[in-house]
């Protein structure tokens, strides 16, 4: 079968219109040929013999009449050992290697193998000749950083096949044969450690998808206690500039109870991406004391890449997350920011002259966002193991207005909402997750009655505070004033947490339970203060002791001593 070619009949920004000489498919990859350069593009719409392609690079210089070669393949990523520790662009080009080869200014059309083709991996087979296998079954494994990376039957294999050859244990490159499988009709297929998968198709080589119920412990108190995330669940973080988005992302990456973290930095300001690429490799993993990159993959768009690559980066990141989920691992995907991704969608839709919906976003915006978050999930694998992919997406609504289409479409599908508040960030109350606007559908690390009771106090405290701004402290009753002091206390000692202190940054669920019980008894206590001044100095003293306590290792001797002091103050 000879591959289809076409001729460009129109160029509009990153969109090219091509008349084709044969059958092509939606999302097929084509290359616009410009002299020595081959510019990667993806078919996004077909009308008769006319195809619309989004080009992943600058279309500068492309002209009517230029040739396009189609590949017959969908936009795909390479899967196999060696993905961890990588920093890729949206098309899975390894950025540090590109920079090494081409310097800071990448030439257009520059590509490199996503996986190191020379490196060898210590492969141990786990199947025997005659074994029946299906897509996603394990053929063997290699060690990759601190994980067992399972080498799987490619996900496009349909039905049951038999193993007819398997390589002995030894060192192999990703492209060397490690097994041969055969179907009922005798068709054979040679397998290596790497294979491809189209980024826009969810990987579903598992038995079942299950309800995400088990908490994904982040060790951030306000999250685990008040607005929890579940393993395999989804959440959204609206992040206005300076609100603490990057810091919370780094904290969750380090402390969340997951194996692998994937960061999709899609099209945020260039400086922020550089920041991510520079800061992440410096982070240490609190579990190992070594680099956090050992269990991280970063997908980042360089500022020179056009909008189409932003779109691709979200899908690439998701596919890599699904791949590691198939190995029975817990994966956390942080997409930053989904608003930029949606803007790319809007720009493209405009060029396609589609009928615009709300705020000029295409009418399929909602379904695209829903499809993205649906790729999260807790799954049961063929061997009975479990893997999860949790997705957290930031949204950067212009002017912090949540009534816009991207935030609204996201809120419909996610399981938790962590609204970052600029006011809290300005007041240096970190993490700046808003305690009243945020919500979660997942279950907390702490009993629900305790959580509800505390939230009620936070709400009432805010009300008293607002009233106090009008009538002044003198016009506020002593009882109301105590409500206010109690809510401020909860905020200061529990909601706020120092992300830069190794002890305070990571509060285990046990400790959260323990401490919240103590706070609960304080909130329930009826105090008999003789004046507001008395009340204020009592809570001030208690708060200081409590904050000191937060910096002490749970279960340590000093922790126990401080606890006696605090309990004494509370019980009076
Ligand atoms: P954004 O990414 O939303 O623009 P950052 O995450 O960079 O904002 O936060 C801005 C600044 O706020 C940080 O440089 C830091 O000083 C402070 N900050 C944010 N989160 C925390 C936190 N959890 N603990 C302490 N300081 C924080
Ligand atoms: Mg930032």
Question: pLDDT tens digits for 115-126?
Answer: 999 999 999 999
8 A C-beta contact, residue 428 and residue 421: no
Ligand 1 neighbour 430 (Cβ under 6 A): yes
Percent residues over pLDDT 90 in the chain: 78
CB count, 10 Å around CB of 410? 28
CATH topology for 448-571 is 1.10.1140
Mean pLDDT of 227-248: 90
pLDDT digits (tens, 9 = 90+) for 401-439: 888 899 999 999 999 999 999 999 999 999 999 999 999
Tokens of 294: 């050992």
CA of residue 360 to ligand 1 center, whole Å: 32
Mean pLDDT of 320-344: 93
CA of residue 244 to ligand 1 center, whole Å: 4
Ligand nearest to the CA of 268: 2
Ligand 1 neighbour 396 (Cβ under 6 A): no
CB count, 10 Å around CB of 412? 11
CATH of domain 121-197: 2.40.50.100
DSSP state of 305: S
DSSP state of 495: I
Tokens of 400: 């912090």
pLDDT digits (tens, 9 = 90+) for 274-306: 777 788 888 999 999 999 999 999 998 765 667
pLDDT digits (tens, 9 = 90+) for 182-228: 999 999 999 999 999 999 999 999 999 999 999 999 999 999 999 99
Fold match between domain 121-197 and domain 448-571: no
Cβ neighbors of 310 (< 8 A, separation 6 or more) are: 90, 266, 267, 301, 340, 341, 344
pLDDT digits (tens, 9 = 90+) for 125-177: 999 999 999 999 999 999 999 999 999 999 999 999 999 999 999 999 999 99
Peptide bond into 548 cis (omega under 30): no
Q: Phi and psi dihedrals of 275, rounded to 5? A: -60, -50
Query: How many Å apart are CA 224 and CA 513, to the nearest integer?
Result: 10
CB count, 10 Å around CB of 128? 8
Give the pTM: 0.94
- Indicate which residue's Cα is closest to atom 16 of ligand 1: 244
Closest by CA to 138, choosing from 158, 166, 116, 118, is 166
CATH topology for 210-440 is Rossmann fold (3.40.50)
Query: How many Å apart are CA 205 and CA 135, to the nearest integer?
Result: 6
Peptide bond into 431 cis (omega under 30): yes
Ligand nearest to the CA of 497: 1
Percent residues over pLDDT 70 in the chain: 97
- Indicate which residue's Cα is closest to atom 17 of ligand 1: 244
Ligand 1 neighbour 246 (Cβ under 6 A): yes
| Number of the ligand 1 atom closest to the C-alpha atom of 498 | 24
CA of residue 245 to ligand 2 center, whole Å: 6
Ligand 1 neighbour 239 (Cβ under 6 A): yes
- pLDDT at residue number 95: 85
CATH architecture label of 4-75: Beta Barrel (2.40)
Query: How many Å apart are CA 50 and CA 450, to the nearest integer?
Result: 62
- Indicate which residue's Cα is closest to atom 18 of ligand 1: 244
Q: Where are the domains of the chain?
A: 4-75, 121-197, 210-440, 448-571
- pLDDT at residue number 540: 97
Query: How many Å apart are CA 73 and CA 49, to the nearest integer?
Result: 18
8 A C-beta contact, residue 425 and residue 195: no
């Amino acid at each position: 079968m000879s591959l289809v070619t076409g001729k460009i009949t129109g160029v509009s920004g990153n969109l090219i219109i091509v008349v084709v000489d044969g059958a092509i498919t939606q999302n097929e990859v084509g290359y616009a040929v410009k002299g020595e350069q081959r510019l990667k593009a993806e078919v996004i719409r077909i009308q008769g013999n006319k195809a619309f392609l989004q080009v992943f690079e600058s279309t500068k210089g492309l002209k009517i009449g230029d040739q396009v070669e189609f590949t017959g393949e969908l936009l795909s990523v390479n899967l196999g050992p060696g993905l961890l520790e990588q920093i890729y662009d949206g098309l899975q080009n390894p950025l540090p290697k590109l920079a090494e080869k081409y310097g800071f200014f990448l030439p257009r059309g520059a590509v490199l193998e996503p996986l190191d083709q020379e490196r060898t991996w210590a492969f141990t087979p786990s199947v025997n000749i005659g074994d029946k296998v299906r897509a996603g079954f394990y053929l063997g494994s290699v060690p990759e950083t601190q994980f067992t990376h399972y080498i799987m039957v490619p996900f496009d294999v349909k039905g049951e096949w038999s193993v007819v050859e398997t390589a002995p244990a030894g060192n192999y490159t990703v492209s060397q044969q490690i097994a041969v499988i055969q179907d009922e009709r005798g068709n054979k297929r040679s397998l290596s450690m790497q294979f491809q998968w189209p980024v826009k198709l969810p990987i579903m080589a598992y038995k079942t998808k299950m309800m995400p119920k088990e908490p994904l412990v982040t060790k951030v108190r306000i999250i685990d206690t008040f607005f929890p995330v579940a393993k395999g669940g989804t959440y959204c973080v609206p992040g206005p500039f300076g609100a603490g988005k990057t810091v919370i992302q780094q904290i969750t990456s380090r402390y969340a109870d997951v194996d692998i973290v994937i960061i999709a930095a899609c099209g945020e300001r260039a400086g922020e991406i550089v920041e991510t690429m520079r800061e992440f490799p410096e982070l240490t993993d609190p579990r190992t004391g070594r680099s956090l990159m050992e269990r991280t993959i970063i997908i980042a768009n360089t500022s020179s890449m056009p909008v189409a690559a932003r779109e691709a980066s979200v899908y690439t990141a998701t596919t890599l997350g699904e791949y590691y989920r198939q190995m029975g691992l817990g994966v956390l995907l942080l997409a930053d920011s989904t608003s930029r991704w949606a803007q790319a969608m809007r720009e493209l839709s405009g060029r396609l002259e589609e009928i615009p919906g709300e705020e000029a976003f295409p009418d399929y915006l909602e379904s695209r966002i829903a499809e993205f978050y649906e790729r999260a999930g807790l799954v049961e694998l063929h061997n009975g193991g479990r893997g999860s992919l949790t997705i957290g997406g930031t949204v950067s609504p212009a002017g912090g207005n949540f009534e816009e289409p991207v935030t609204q479409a996201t809120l419909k599908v996610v399981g938790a909402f962590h609204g970052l508040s600029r006011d809290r960030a300005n007041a240096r109350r970190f993490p700046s997750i808003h305690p009243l606007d945020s919500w979660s559908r997942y279950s907390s690390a702490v009993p629900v009655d305790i959580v509800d009771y505390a939230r009620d106090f936070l709400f009432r405290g805010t009300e008293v505070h607002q009233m106090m701004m009008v009538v002044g402290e003198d016009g506020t009753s002593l009882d109301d004033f105590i409500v206010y002091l109690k809510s401020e206390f909860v905020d200061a000692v529990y909601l706020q947490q120092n992300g830069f202190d190794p002890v305070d940054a990571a509060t285990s669920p046990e400790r959260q339970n323990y401490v919240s019980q103590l706070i609960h008894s304080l909130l329930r206590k009826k105090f008999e203060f003789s004046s507001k001044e008395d009340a204020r100095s009592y809570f001030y003293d208690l708060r200081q002791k409590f904050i000191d306590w937060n910096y002490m290792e749970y279960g340590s001797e000093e922790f126990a001593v401080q606890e006696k002091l605090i309990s004494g103050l509370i019980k009076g």
